[in-house]
Amino acid sequence: MRDEGYPPEQREAIYRVIAERRDVRRGFLPDPIPPDVLARLLNAAHQAPSVGFSQPWDFIVITDRDKRQRIAALVQRNRDEYAAALPGGRARAFDKLKIESIVDTPVNIVVTCDRTRGGRHTLGRHAQPRTAGFSSVLAVANLWLAARAEGLGVGWVSFFGEHELAELGEELSLPPHLEIVAYLCVGYVSEFGAEPELAASGWARRRPMAWAVHADEYGRRGLPGEETMDLLAEVIAAIEPLDAGAMAAARERQDRMTKPRGSLGELELISVRLAGLAGACPPPLPEPACVAVFAGDHGVHAQDVTPWPQEVTAQMVANFLAGGAVVNSFAAQVGAEVTVVDVGVAADLDPVPGLLPRKIERGTKDFTAGPAMTRDQAIAALTTGIEVARDLVAAGNRCLLTGDMGIANTTASAALICAFTGADPAEATGRGTGVDAATYARKVDVVCRGLARHRPDPVDPVGVLAAFGGFEHAAIAGFVLGAAALRVPVILDGVIAGAGALAAAALAPDVAGACFAGHRSSEPGHAITLEHLGLRPLIDLGLRLGEGTGAVLALPLVQSAARALRDVATFDSAGVAEKDHLRERLWCLRPRK
């Protein structure tokens, strides 16, 4: 006989507590917490599971108001430093958040971890020493759930840098072997929100469970009782045409705004497309925004198609991460975040903030000698791009921008453009970083030889990517697909992004509805690409740098289009007579014979 578990009503109560647990920052009441209630919370935390039954936690209960005010000052200092480091779009959103309630709540609880507790041979900790900290986090979870059952809100304060943690340790007289795991603010609240505060504010979104469940191995997504999903097929199936009703509403509103009809030109069309993408008029403002710079090396570099050494790719990645590249400068100006994704750099990169290590292989192969990558690698790169888009949107970004880095990637781009559009290599191949006539002729010849060898079929976009593409091209294609499936606008940069977008559009034609061409590159293949995609560039400044610079420069235009549709008054709301009404009034007031 097996244990059947709790009765249905008790199970329902448990799952309700889990679903309604909230990280609370607002609405705390000054009501004191009765000692017996507080003891129940601590007992629940103390019953948490721990590796080797080591019970590495201690709980420091803080009620002294003066002490809490001093601790709040430490948090404020770190908060200010964090806010100063945020890009503009994020900073504006952060200013609206309340991040702690240290003084507002009657009780603060600090949960610590003693990594030495249990001695040298604690069961389960020998191979995985970090499990002591994990165990203390389980105590936090128990306390949090018990608090929700008691009608108490809990807010986790994490704005303590290393210096502030040291000062907090001194404030609490902590011995040096104890580590602070969590600082919790606990108190009764006026009400619990229907969703987490950060989700309600738009700071972040909850990831669907289907994104997080894998069957037998990572990447084989599937909920229990369901077939495993093909992520690429799932995303393609989710991409739908723009919403005609929302677009009609946007056009109608544009015609009623206090301006001559059509006077905003292309910006009006952008706002209509944004409304169609969001399925609402007006659409949400496309901020915060993040540019993802996908980086990878190319085997075709061996054909001397560029004078730049391949090592420059890794060097420029380091420059992006240090904030020293042009894209960093432009992004700082417009308030966008920069994230670098290593999908195929031919070097080992140190883990640093801002770098997503997603390396599929150390560069592609030379496509004049064989396929640039295997079909499985192409799908892996597409999947990586999809997942990066999903993660950035879940983090709260409402606009995604493409960036790229990879020495010799304009050669691969020209081959992809020819394969997808049927263009002549001499017309689609450009001078990239400014090569001389001999190198340019060699580039054209390389593209011709690659096309002759592989005879690409645009009906098989994955096969085309595998034949010619860089890992960044395939990842950008997935990035565009992921954004379109989530109905989030994506601003394309230049010829490399365009080549990736061609692959995305070949997989899902409706993906173009989510794409906005940031600019027209001076690379000739880019104009061919934009015409094929049916996209009009927002700026045309002769740029050919890449990195995402053109997309970043166009971001304020896309944002302004959405803001105008939302904020500009209509003739009737502003009490301004429309042209047709003025004509009618003048007709009525004309002199009569």
Active site residues: 547
Distances (CA, A) of 55 to 142, 146, 255: 13, 18, 67
Task: Compute the C-alpha angle 271/274/279, nearest 5°.
Answer: 125
How would you write 18-75 as a 3-class SS string?
A: HHHCCECCCCECCCCCCHHHHHHHHHHHHCCCCHHHCCCEEEEEECCHHHHHHHHHHH
Query: How far is it, in rounded angstroms, from Cα 226 to Cα 515?
Result: 33
Rounded Cα distance between 298 and 308, Å, is: 12
Which residues is 28 bridged to in the sheet? Answer: 189
Q: Quick one: how far is CA 356 from the chain centroid? A: 11
Q: H or E stretch including 231?
A: helix 231-238
Name which of 201, 221, 202 is nearest 211 in CA terms.
Answer: 221
Terminal-residue alpha carbon distance, the chain: 105
Q: Does residue 337 sit in helix, strand or coil? A: strand
**Do the Cβ atoms of 443 and 348 come closer than 8 Å?**
no
Q: How far apart are CA 121 and CA 422, in angstroms?
A: 67
Answer whether 53's CB lies under 8 Å from 177's CB. no
Q: Which two tokens stand for residue 343?
A: 């999908």
Helices (H), 325-436: 326-334, 375-394, 409-421, 425-428
| CA distance to 245, 405, 439, 546, per residue, from 443 (Å) | 47, 18, 6, 18
Q: What is the helix (H) or strand (E) element at residue 249, kind and residue range?
A: helix 244-256
- The amino acid at residue 250 is A
Q: Report how far residue 28's alpha carbon sits from residue 129's, in angstroms, rounded to the nearest whole number.
A: 37
What's the CA gap between 26 and 562, in Å, rounded? 30
Taking the C-alpha atoms of residue 248 and residue 280, their distance in angstroms, rounded to an integer, is 10
Query: Are 101 and 155 within 8 A, CB to CB?
Result: yes
Query: What order do you get walking across the sheet with 399-405 strand by strand?
Result: 355-357, 337-344, 289-296, 399-405, 490-492, 515-517
Angle CA 453–359–497, to nearest 5: 60
The first and second tokens of residue 541, run together, are: 């400044």
What sign does the CA torsion over 364, 365, 366, 369 have? negative
Among candidate residues 406, 306, 276, 410, the one with its CA nearest the CA of residue 347: 406
